[in-house]
Every structure is written in C-alpha cells, then in structure tokens.
Structure 1
Amino acid sequence: MAHQQGPALAADHLVKTYPGGRGKPPLRAVDGLGFEAEKGTVFGLLGPNGAGKSTTMKILSTLTRPDSGTAYVAGIDVARHPARVRRALGFVAQKPVSDPMDTGVENLVLAGRLQGMSGREAAARARELLDRFGLTDHARRQVKTYSGGMARKLDVAIGLMHRPEVLFLDEPTTGLDPEARAELWLELERMTTAENLTVLLTTHYLDEADRLADRLAIVDHGRVVAGGTPEELKNDLRGDAVIVELAADADPFAGLGALQRVDALREVGGDGRTLRARADSGAATLPLALAALEAAGVAVASATVARPSLDDVYLRHTGRTFTRAQESAEFVLENAS
C-alpha cells in the first residue's frame, strides 16, 4: 500500500444532522467538526455521551455520510474512495464484534479470512495477536467464557488482524472494571508501539484521554471546543484549581458571591454544592477563600487545591464540568424515546 501524504487523519467542517422523528426537531450530531492527527500517534476525541464522537467515527469509517465537509483516512478521501478507506483501517466498535460461541482463535482466523488473508497467514497472525494480548492460554475457549477484559482485548485483536494503517477505538473500555481498564490501557500502549499505527480513540473518561492520547480534541455539542496535547491544555489554565464542597444546608449562591469577592480568585463558578475557582497560588489563596465563606455564613464540607485537570479544561471551554455534562447527556438519552 502506498504511503500516505499529509496527516493520517483529517476532518474539515464535518456536519451531520439526523431527523428528529415524532414531531421532534432534527438533531445536529456533528456541527462543523474538524481536526488532524499525525501518523503513529494516538488522537483522542473526548466528550460526554451524545457529544458527536461516535457519529464522527462513523463518518470517518464510511458507515455514514456527512451532510457536508471532508474527511481523510490514511490520506484517502472517505467520500471518494470508501472501499480503500475500509482496507486501510481497523474498527473496534463499542459493542462486541466476536462470536461468543466460537473460540478466540476461530474469531481471529475468520476475521483474517474476511480481509482476504490465506488460512496460513490468518493462523499465523492470530497466534501473534493472541500472544501479544496475553490470550494464548485461552485461545481454544469459547468467547462466552471470557471475562469482560479478555473479550475486549479480543475485539481489539480482531481489528488488528489485517495490519491496518489506522485503528479506530470507539469507547474501548466502557463497562470494564477499573482493573480491566488499566490492563487494557497497558496493552493499547504496547500495541501502538509494536504496530506503528495511528489510533483514533473516542472516550468519555478523562483519565483515559489523559493517559493514552498524544493529542486530543474536546468535543461538545458536535464541535471541537479545544485541542492540543493533554499537558498543553492543562498548562493553558494558569495556576491552581481551588475546589470547595459546601455543606448540605449551605446556600451555593451565597458561596459564589463570597468567593467572587476574593481578589486572588478568578474564574469563579459553581456546579451544585461544588464551587470552583482558579488562583496563581492555591495554597496561599485557600485560607482567604475559607475566611470569606465563613464571614458570609456559608458552611464548608471540604476544600482542596489541585493542579489543572482535563475536567478544569472542559469547564473552561464549555461552562460546565464534565460530570455534569455526562449526567445531562445520560438524562437526555434515557428520556428520548
């Protein structure tokens, strides 16, 4: 396959709207979204459920067409050459792709044969991937007997069978327990080095994006609101985060007013009983903040000072915390029927 020119992935002003149905207005899932990812890197799309991440991935993988905009995968125009794009990429969807009644090795060999590999090539590649993901001892077991973490590793291995140039990972650790998530992270880090491929990762886990992505784009309501390396995004937030959790009977509005009167604090905001602000020196400013709250008669349950996080980045660019955005998205999904 010819080497690609330019970035490994590129999207420019992508727009995708779905009909509302039952009298509801149309849903603009992707609204002018754009980004670029270099070859051999992990590029993350970070956002809550419903932000437009999965729709973007469907457009890039030729599963749906955008209303407007352009996209390239491995230097190939997605709209003009969809078959070439599908040969160049591996896709690991949110839902399992393996057959639970077949064994691990049977699933891998079948995936290889579907991609045009000979039986011998598919068997050799299957052994290689089973070893890489620590599944060799379980190769002859039916997938229905696998743990969640093992099954997810097998899904990733299936996506790698034909040695793609680009691998799409759509929410790869959703539903896994913390131990299985951490184990899969290690495997993904080893995999990107061993395979020398470009990875597009969608996730709604802040720690996952921080850990795995070389660069990332924060997506909100179908748009990229911020982009860069995780460290660049966090370092753009000068100073420390001051986080105050108010007591259950405290008045959040009175608390906000008290903190806004502290000169050393900036970007004061609230999310329920959690108040946040920024300060050049959090350690020096926290006592002033607590004194202001006490003077206003606002009871405090806890207070912390922390270095900037991706949650702070999300708050800066969207006006709400990531947790609140995720809860809002889940409420909308639960009530959309």
Structure 2
Amino acid sequence: MTTRAGEPLRYDDVVRVRALSKTYPPVKGRRGAAGAPEVRATDQVTLDVRHGEIFGLLGPNGAGKSTLVRQLTGLLRPDSGSVEILGHDIVRHPERAARILAYLGQESSALDELTVALAAETTGRLRGLEARAARAERDAVLDELGLAPLAGRPLKKLSGGQRRLACLAAALVGARPLLVLDEPTTGMDPVARRAVWAAVDRRRAEQGATVLLVTHNVIEAETVLDRVAVLDEGRVIACDTPAGLKERVSGEVRVELVWRERAPLEVPEVAVLRERAVEAGRRWTLRLAPEEARAAVATVTGGAAFAALDDFTLATPSLEDVYLALGGEARQGLVKA
C-alpha cells in the first residue's frame, strides 16, 4: 500500500509531512511606517511522527514552528507540499483534522468567556460525547490537573498559567489519537508543569496517543521528547533523539563566563576567547574541546582577568549547543529553562 505521494505506507507513522512550504508576501508600510519583507515561514519541511511517541519541534522564536503546526492542523494552507495524518490528506481535506487531533494553540481566546468547567464540557460535546460522558470526562480531567477548585471561574479571570492549564484541560476532553501542543506549559509553575506531563504520559500509555510538541525550552525538550526536529528559518536542520543530537557535540564542553561589569578585553587571552563566545549581556557562552575549556578556565581564574570575573560554570552540551553547532541563526534564541 502507498500514500498519495507514491511512497510505501509505514503503519507506525501517524504524521507524514513532505516538502511543506509557506511564504508570507511582503507587506507595504503605511503612513511612513516600515513595511515587512517576504518571509519564508516553512521551507521544504519533511518529517514523520511515529505512533505513540512524543515528537518535538524545537527552535527559537520566528523559526517557523507555529506556522508549521497551523499547516499540520488544517488551519493554514501551504503553498506546496503534503500533510497526511493517519492516512488523511489534510491539505485537500483540512476539515478532517478536527476529527483526529486535539490542538492547543498559543492563543485560545475563544474560551475566555466560559468557566473552566464549561470550557472542558463544551469541548467534549463538540467532539461527539453524550452529555453525561462529557461531564464525567470534564470532572476527571479537572481533578487530574488540579483545576477542580477553579471549575466555576471564567478563564478570563485566571492568571496566565492557570488559564493555560484550563485550555489544556479542554483539549484533553474527548480522546483524540494525536495531541498537538504549542508551548503548552507557558507561564506555569513547576507543579502545574509536572501535572501536564503526567497527563500527557498517561494518555500515551493508556490510550496510545501520539504527541506533537512545540517548544523553545531546551530543558523541557531534553526531558520529555522521544525525538526532536530542530527548526531554523523555516528549515529542519536536524532530526533525532535528544541524545542522538547531543552526540554530535559530545566532544565539547560548554563554558559560561559571567563578568562583573564588562569583559577585560585589554587582556589578550580574553580578547581571543571573545572570538568564539556567544554574548548575552555580561554572560559569555563558549563551546570548547576539553583541553581548550581547561585552558580558558585557567586564563580567567588565574590571571589578570580574575578581578573582572563574577562566576563561571562548566557543563556538558545541551540541545542549544547542538542548534548553534548546526549553524542556527538566532544565536541567543533558545530558552534554557
């Protein structure tokens, strides 16, 4: 059996994306305001998401993650390429997406006037649940996420993290084989984040759900993802397990230097280090071979530079280091925690 693209169908593939591209045209400025140039939001994106895995899209702001997700969920038509979810052609039939996936976007303002309980129950009813079943799932999900005490509160009256959690609760009512979550834990405290990932894992284990997660949080990506596609300027520049990606920079050490006020560039050895550093205010981040890392630490702790040094750390590489090693353009764009 083959797909519409003529390729052999793999029965463990839930999502198949082939050569997906989307370009936003330039926008002319008005009344003296600057216009916006043409933007290639997704550029020949090809990837597969397998049954039962948590697959991540990782990249800085503006990398094309949310645009890609809107194309996968049938909300935005691509200029070219194909999207198949469980064998359904989503480009030709975008209306089918709502029947096979649950989507939590970055903005969910349509639910703001509803209470937490009503938002979850209404979502279940829209997905075909009978009233009694919708209420039962509503109550179970609110308990699971610790939202029962807020059940009667309108979403618009909640804090940012609480509102985000309530929107996730609504997305989880009425089981779907694919969960598409765009930055689901934004604004949440650690307790809420743990509840989110416990709920996601439970649906994968008990319902066989597949999860597509959008994030620019490096720690989150390394902790929860089975595989990750790294996006940069609309392109997939790498796709592997987090461990597999980090293996590409396994021979390096991350060195972070924090200066008290400014780096002492009058010290020749520090000026040389600057050529290899990613600068963020007073913080310098370098990826160095182990012997180079030892030499760099000796330079800043044992010589004239020491008086200007506030702190330093050594660490094994993260997915952010992978992104930079692969040529990512947003040199300060990924979030570490």
TM range (shorter): 0.7 to 0.9
Question: How far apart in 1 are the matches of 2:126 and 2:306?
Answer: 68
**1:162–1:302 CA distance, 2 compared to 1 (3 A):** same
CA deviation vs aligned residue, 1:33-84 (integer Å, no higher than 9, x gap): 2221111111110111111000000000000111111112223221233233
Counterpart among 250, 255, 264 of residue 242 in structure 1: 255
Residue 74 (structure 2) pairs with residue 62 (structure 1): yes
Contact 1:238 1:280 in 2 (8 A): no
Counterpart in the other structure of 2:313: 304
Corresponding letter in the other structure for 2:13:
P
Question: How far apart in 1 are the matches of 2:158 and 2:68?
Answer: 30
Q: Mean Cα displacement is larger for which, 98-107 or 58-67?
A: 98-107
Counterpart among 324, 328, 333 of residue 325 in structure 1: 333
Per-residue deviation, 1:289? 4.8
| Stretches of structure 1 lacking an aligned partner (at least 5 in a row) | 261-266, 328-337
Per-residue deviation, 1:32? 1.4
Counterpart in the other structure of 2:227: 215
Counterpart among 134, 139, 145 of residue 122 in structure 1: 134
Question: How far apart in 2 are the matches of 1:175 and 1:109?
Answer: 24
Question: How far apart in 2 are the matches of 1:253 and 1:55?
Answer: 46
Counterpart in the other structure of 1:36: 48
Per-residue deviation, 1:7? 0.9
Counterpart in the other structure of 1:335: none
Question: How far apart in 2 are the matches of 1:102 and 1:259?
Answer: 55
CA deviation vs aligned residue, 1:70-106 (integer Å, no higher than 9, x gap): 1122232212332332200001111235634433222
Q: SS state of the match for residue 149, structure 1?
A: helix
**1:221–1:321 CA distance, 2 compared to 1 (3 A):** closer
Counterpart in the other structure of 1:271: 279
Corresponding letter in the other structure for 1:139:
A
Question: How far apart in 2 are the matches of 1:177 and 1:131?
Answer: 17
Contact 1:12 1:35 in 2 (8 A): yes
How many residues of Structure 1 are paired with residues of Structure 2 in the alignment? Answer: 317
Residue 105 (structure 2) pairs with residue 96 (structure 1): no
**1:275–1:108 CA distance, 2 compared to 1 (3 A):** closer
Q: Mean Cα displacement is larger for which, 303-312 or 184-193?
A: 184-193
Contact 1:16 1:31 in 2 (8 A): yes
CA deviation vs aligned residue, 1:130-177 (integer Å, no higher than 9, x gap): 232233343344434444333322212221222111011111122334
Counterpart in the other structure of 1:225: 237
Q: Mean Cα displacement is larger for which, 303-312 or 60-69?
A: 303-312
Per-residue deviation, 1:222? 0.4
**1:187–1:120 CA distance, 2 compared to 1 (3 A):** closer
Q: SS state of the match for residue 238, structure 1?
A: coil
**1:177–1:253 CA distance, 2 compared to 1 (3 A):** farther
Question: How far apart in 1 are the matches of 2:200 and 2:231?
Answer: 22
Q: Mean Cα displacement is larger for which, 179-188 or 111-120?
A: 179-188
Corresponding letter in the other structure for 1:111:
T
**1:320–1:281 CA distance, 2 compared to 1 (3 A):** farther
Q: SS state of the match for residue 69, structure 2?
A: helix
Corresponding letter in the other structure for 2:221:
A
Counterpart in the other structure of 2:209: 197
Counterpart in the other structure of 2:98: 86
**1:299–1:133 CA distance, 2 compared to 1 (3 A):** closer
Per-residue deviation, 1:122? 1.6
| Stretches of structure 2 lacking an aligned partner (at least 5 in a row) | 1-9, 29-34
**1:189–1:20 CA distance, 2 compared to 1 (3 A):** same
Contact 2:22 2:41 in 1 (8 A): yes
**1:226–1:257 CA distance, 2 compared to 1 (3 A):** farther
Question: How far apart in 1 are the matches of 2:266 and 2:43?
Answer: 34
Counterpart in the other structure of 2:11: 5
Per-residue deviation, 1:225? 1.1
CA deviation vs aligned residue, 1:240-269 (integer Å, no higher than 9, x gap): 223334560422995566349xxxxxx944
Question: How far apart in 2 are the matches of 1:140 and 1:42?
Answer: 32
Q: SS state of the match for residue 140, structure 2?
A: helix
Q: Give the TM-score, by structure 2 length.
A: 0.81
Q: Percent identity?
A: 36
What is the Cα-based RMSD across aligned positions, in Å? Answer: 3.2
